[in-house]
Amino acid sequence: MRSLFEPRAIAVIGASGNPEKIGYRIVENIVRSGYGGGVFPINPRGGEILGLKAYADLSDVEEEIDVAVIVIPAGAVLSAVEACGAARVKHLVVITSGFSEVGDLETERRIVRTAREHGMRVLGPNIFGIYSAASSLDATFGPGGITPGPVAIITQSGALGIAMIGKTATESVGLSALVSVGNKSDVDEADLLEYLASDERTRAILMYVEGVKDGERLQGTLAEVTRHKPVVVIKAGRSKRGSMAAASHTGSLAGADEVFDSVMRQAGVLRAESVQEAFSWVRYLASTPLPPGDEAVIVTNGGGIGVMATDACEKHGVLLYDDQAVLADTFSGVMPDFGSSKNPVDLTGQATAEDYARSLDAVLAEGRMHAAIALYCETALFDTGRFADLLRDVYARYRDRKPIVFSLFGGERIDAVIRDLRGEGIPVFGDVYEAVSALGALYRVRRRIREAPEEAEPIDLPIDEIRAVLRGARDGGRAFLLAPEAARVAAHLGLDMPRSIVARNLDEAVGAAGEIGYPVVMKIVSKDIVHKSDAGGVALDLENEEEIVDAYQAILRSCRAHVPDAAIEGVEVVEMVRSGVETIVGARQDPSFGPVVMFGLGGIYVEVMKDVSFRAAPIGRSTARAMISDLRSYPLLLGVRGESRKDIDAIAAVVSKLSHLIDRCREIADIEVNPLIVYDHGEGTRTVDMRILIKQPKGGERT
Ligand code: COA
């Protein structure tokens, strides 16, 4: 990727002398941005474009070209790609639209195939270009005038990307790179991230994503990059639902967005709700040192905004310093008499600008206080000009050592101060929540950088034996496992399933119940009936022979009525499991991210509240525990209202096993343990039912 960002020479195929054309704008931006390498406009008419010699044909250029920007009509692109291949170009930046985004996948594929045959990579098509501060290169058709700086932006939306150039100017955000990925026919975010991770100029990365193609690779790359640099993502399309909605809980709950959200969090990526929030975060993250410790102090001249900031700190995971003796000592002599040294430190409306600056200084000079949240409500006592100078001074002295966020609130004069200070790159916000959210993002980055990578836990699964069971089902023409087959897989996984015997007639059912011991459950066994309860194929809590007889007949009657042609193999008589907390563990092949695992509490928690969490598989037990604790209903597992704590470690073991299974057996489409009954701490779990769907025909198996 280095030669894409730092090319020695660049050609523009479709360069034009007509200022109305994109081919003109691109050459103009390249020239104006101060790019030091060779620039070769290609135009059939030859001549001169913007003072540069134009070549009628790429083959006329003698210098080695690293990047060819292609900006000619779609129908001519493929032959231009061939010409680039012959000229040993390294990267193609295909601006042209009119390929897969309008349904022409075939030409796009041919472009990529031809390029790859010649060892070239393709950025685009359907993009606005690339800006790289490393080589002062603006090869976009944006408005120009990009200020170099520490933020890299990767965007899938062209229009939003171009608009971001203007936004970066008004927000004083300097860019290290701006890359439009468009249709992502070849080069995608993961490729670009690998370069940006090692680029010293880049201190924070912002990605705008619409759809993910190779999510497994993206997740792996992001997980690596975020250990060194912050990555903020904005993703559109929160409401899309997964395609296997009806097949399972995991499927219906694994809406594209829920999985995206969890996987991004797992990879240490910060997801912003809006473009504004994303900008605010990257701007702050790129220019602020990590806090040396966990505890922040709020300094305010207004009680109300102090309370608001305290709420925001709780929401964004910012801890407040609360050693009262140290606080009293720190602020004695620097704050007015009526003030309160409790955090939030309230200087009151009586404070002068000097009191304010001295108090802020006291926080920042104190080694036990690690970050400052400076809030100010406009008062008549302050000379705003002098106040702004004091803030500048404090910021200049501590900017490299400790994080500070300023939030100023008032009328026109304060708005002018905010504008001026922001323009100078000082982190001043008009809104308290926005200020604390930026500091919260910085704390999340700190936690991510400091957290130890999860140790790979060796997990020994009898994959060959499990595959043999899956093969049996597939050979039988089924896309799902029958209960006894699923039970065999469960046994191989070491999941504790209730005892069960398949009975082919009533006599055998009675015998089986006697052998297992009452009470028992009875379930229909038929490859034609997947949703057993819906078909009336399940009877619970059967206490004696008489109840077995009644239930047996009722099950058969109901199933025949429900699915008249169903081939019924018999009924399964199962040990009735003692009650506990019902949970669901699922795993599936996600269309974007590959193998993912899900956990949720059963009943209304899953059905109504959709309270589930996901991770990209495989995961070890500690990640599984973190995933379990993500649930809103987690306190139920910890034990509420006198209930005892449940066996969370045992759940984590099941989640981890399923995650490894779905990762290693890619032929499994979807697997669900539902319910997994959880008992008190130390008493384990029972797998009451397990359903496995397999891919037909053969999926990519991994050994
Ligand atoms: N080699 C070199 N130059 C060529 C050429 C070739 N094979 N074929 C055509 N040209 C020249 C043309 O002669 C013209 O130069 P001129 O102005 O001197 O006559 C120039 O390339 C452009 O060709 P033209 O036919 O005028 O196309 P255009 O400028 O109207 O449109 C695109 C070209 C690429 C801009 C257009 O097809 C397109 O895709 N637009 C959408 C771009 C977009 O929005 N991208 C996504 C942004 S997010």
Sign, CA torsion 512/516/520/522: negative
**Does 97 contact ligand 1 (Cβ within 6 A)?**
yes
> Sorting pLDDT into bands at 50, 70 and 90, what band is 246?
very low
**Which atom of ligand 1 lies nearest, measured to the CA of 45?**
18
pLDDT exceeds cutoff 70 at 239: no
Task: Look at residue 541 in the predicted model and tell me its pLDDT.
Answer: 92
Q: Where are the alpha helices (DSSP H) in 226-323?
A: 249-253, 256-266, 275-287, 303-315
- How big is the chain by its Cα radius of gyration, in Å? 31
Ligand 1 centroid vs 15 CA: distance in angstroms? 8
pLDDT exceeds cutoff 80 at 242: no
Ligand 1 centroid vs 18 CA: distance in angstroms? 11
Q: Please tell me the distance from the alpha carbon of residue 610 to that of residue 603, in angstroms, as a whole number.
A: 10
Ligand 1 centroid vs 527 CA: distance in angstroms? 59
Q: Please tell me the distance from the alpha carbon of residue 342 to that of residue 240, in angstroms, as a whole number.
A: 47
Contact 669, 569 (CB under 8 A): no
Residue 340 identity (one-letter amino acid): S
Q: Is the pTM of this model over 0.85?
A: yes
Q: Please tell me the distance from the alpha carbon of residue 283 to that of residue 441, in angstroms, as a whole number.
A: 11
pLDDT exceeds cutoff 70 at 564: yes
Phi and psi for 190 in degrees, rounded to 5? Answer: -60, -40
Task: Report CA 441 to chain centroid distance, whole Å.
Answer: 14
Average pLDDT score, the chain: 91
Cβ of 356: how many Cβ atoms within 10 Å?
25
Q: Please tell me the distance from the alpha carbon of residue 484 to that of residue 355, in angstroms, as a whole number.
A: 76
> Could you report the per-residue pLDDT of 195-222, keeping only the tens digit for each?
999 999 999 999 998 888 888 999 999 9
**Does 126 contact ligand 1 (Cβ within 6 A)?**
yes
Closest CA to 26 of 39, 38, 36, 37: 39
> Could you report the per-residue pLDDT of 216-236, keeping only the tens digit for each?
999 999 999 999 999 999 987
> Sorting pLDDT into bands at 50, 70 and 90, what band is 248?
very low
The pLDDT of 399-415, averaged and rounded, is 93
Closest CA to 74 of 188, 182, 157, 208: 182
The pLDDT of 274-297, averaged and rounded, is 94
Given ligand 1 and candidates 22, 65, 72, which is best to mutate, with the most ligand atoms within 8 Å of its CB? 72
Residue 149's SS3 state is: strand
> Could you report the per-residue pLDDT of 54-72, keeping only the tens digit for each?
999 999 999 999 999 999 9
**Does 18 contact ligand 1 (Cβ within 6 A)?**
yes
**Does 201 contact ligand 1 (Cβ within 6 A)?**
no
> Could you report the per-residue pLDDT of 437-474, keeping only the tens digit for each?
999 999 999 999 998 887 777 788 999 999 999 999 99
Q: Whose CA is nearest to atom 10 of ligand 1?
A: 14
**Does 21 contact ligand 1 (Cβ within 6 A)?**
yes
The token pair at 609 is: 């509240």
Ligand 1 centroid vs 26 CA: distance in angstroms? 11
**What Cα–Cα distance (Å) separates residue 102 from each residue in 79, 80, 333, 472?**
20, 21, 69, 43
> Sorting pLDDT into bands at 50, 70 and 90, what band is 245?
very low
The pLDDT of 479-500, averaged and rounded, is 89
Q: Which residue has the tokens 């704050």?
A: 335
Phi and psi for 345 in degrees, rounded to 5? Answer: -75, 115
| CB neighbour list of residue 530: distance below 8 Å, 6 or more residues apart | 480, 691
Given ligand 1 and candidates 22, 70, 156, which is best to mutate, with the most ligand atoms within 8 Å of its CB? 22
**Which atom of ligand 1 lies nearest, measured to the CA of 162?**
48
**Does 16 contact ligand 1 (Cβ within 6 A)?**
yes
Cβ burial, residue 596 (10 Å; 0-12/13-18/19+): buried
